[in-house]
């Protein structure tokens, strides 16, 4: 029996960021209680900015509750640019959140995306092994994996038609993305799916067709890479605003 998709539709803007922040805090408090730290893979682009700002906001309800000193930040994917580049997902998270919260520098695990792409991917995989210290054959299990969705149904840097969608061995890869004429560095499906909690955070009508294709469309991971995200032993929540959910046949608000 296919595991039911957990899907929530909220009003956009602040309500979406607030619902996502509640998810982060709930999982962070549980992870610290259970194993003394919280590991989270951040997504990039623009949708998560409101969430990151809200988590860090000094007069918001989340900053004081966040176990910043026990949280380890990784990125599910990164553009192949230096850390101070306008396209850098690391820079975006630094400017909207990390620069203004008490997270130890050693807990911020950025992709060395200024290096040649393959070298950056290999280095990042080493960083995962160093922190998670997995036994042979085990995968790094993030407490939380935040994911976005592109209008072309890509997620992380798994773009339509790229072979990384089918990667089963490597944890981090450096695919060439023809659509953007650039390399990306990205977690592969095994790592993305090993997380205890995956949250797809999607807003805007421009994503509605991709949301419908991924959730209700025929299985075709090459065309709709978001479909490859299926938690192996965790749970998945889709958090959508009304516009992003507008083409779904059955939405629960």
Burial class (CB in 10 A: 0-12, 13-18, 19+), 4: exposed
User: Would you say how long the chain is, in residues?
Assistant: 253
Query: Is residue 89 a contact point for ligand 6PG (CB under 6 A)?
Result: yes
Q: Measured in Å, how far apart are the chain's first and last C-alpha atoms?
A: 24
* Comparison of 205 and 234: residue with beta carbon closer to ligand 6PG: 205
Alpha helix positions (H), 72-144: 89-96, 117-132
3-class state of residue 17 by DSSP: helix
Task: Count CB-CB contacts under 10 A for residue 156.
Answer: 30
Among residues 5, 22, 46, 235, which is the contact residue for ligand 6PG, using CB under 6 A? 46
148 near ligand 6PG (CB under 6 A): yes
Both tokens assigned to 87: 């396209």
Under the binding rule (CB under 6 A), the answer on residue 12 touching ligand 6PG is no
Provide, rounded to whole angstroms, the least separation between the CB of residue 203 and ligand 6PG.
Answer: 7
d(CA 33, CA 24): 14
Nearer to ligand 6PG, 90 or 132 (CB): 90
Task: Report, in Å, the least distance between residue 43 CB and ligand 6PG.
Answer: 4
Of 16, 21, 39, 44, the one binding ligand 6PG by CB under 6 A: 44
Q: Are 28 and 38 in contact (CB under 8 A)?
A: yes
> How far is Cα 172 from Cα 84, in angstroms, rounded to an integer?
22
**One of 9, 55, 120, 150 touching ligand 6PG (CB under 6 A):** 150
One of 27, 39, 47, 88 touching ligand 6PG (CB under 6 A): 47
Determine if 155 is a binding residue for ligand 6PG (CB under 6 A): yes
Q: Which of 40, 103, 156, 211 binds ligand 6PG (CB under 6 A)?
A: 156
Sites of contact with ligand 6PG (CB under 6 A): 43-47, 77, 89, 148-150, 154-156
């Amino acid at each position: 029996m296919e595991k039911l998709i957990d899907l929530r539709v909220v009003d956009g803007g602040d309500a979406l960021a607030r619902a996502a922040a509640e998810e982060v805090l709930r999982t962070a408090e549980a992870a610290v209680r259970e194993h003394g730290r919280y590991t989270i893979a951040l997504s990039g682009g623009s949708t998560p900015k409101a969430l990151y700002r809200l988590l860090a906001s000094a007069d918001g309800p989340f900053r004081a509750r966040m176990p910043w000193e026990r949280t380890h930040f990784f990125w599910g994917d990164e553009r192949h640019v230096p850390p101070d580049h306008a396209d850098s997902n690391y820079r975006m998270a630094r400017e909207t959140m990390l620069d203004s919260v008490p997270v130890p520098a050693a807990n911020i695990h950025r992709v060395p995306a200024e290096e040649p792409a393959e070298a950056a991917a290999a280095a990042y995989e080493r960083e995962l092994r160093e922190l998670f210290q997995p036994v042979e054959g085990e995968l790094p299990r993030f407490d939380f994996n935040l994911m976005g969705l592109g209008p072309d149904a890509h997620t992380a840097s798994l773009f339509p038609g790229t072979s990384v969608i089918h990667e089963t061995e490597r944890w981090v890869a450096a695919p060439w993305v023809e659509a953007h004429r650039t390399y990306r560095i990205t977690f592969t499906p095994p790592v993305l799916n090993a997380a205890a909690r995956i949250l797809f955070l999607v807003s805007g009508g421009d994503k509605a067709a991709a949301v419908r294709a991924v959730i209700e469309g025929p299985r075709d991971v090459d065309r709709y890479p978001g479909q490859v995200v299926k938690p192996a032993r965790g749970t998945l929540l889709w958090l959508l605003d009304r516009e992003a959910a507008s083409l779904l046949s059955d939405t629960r608000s």
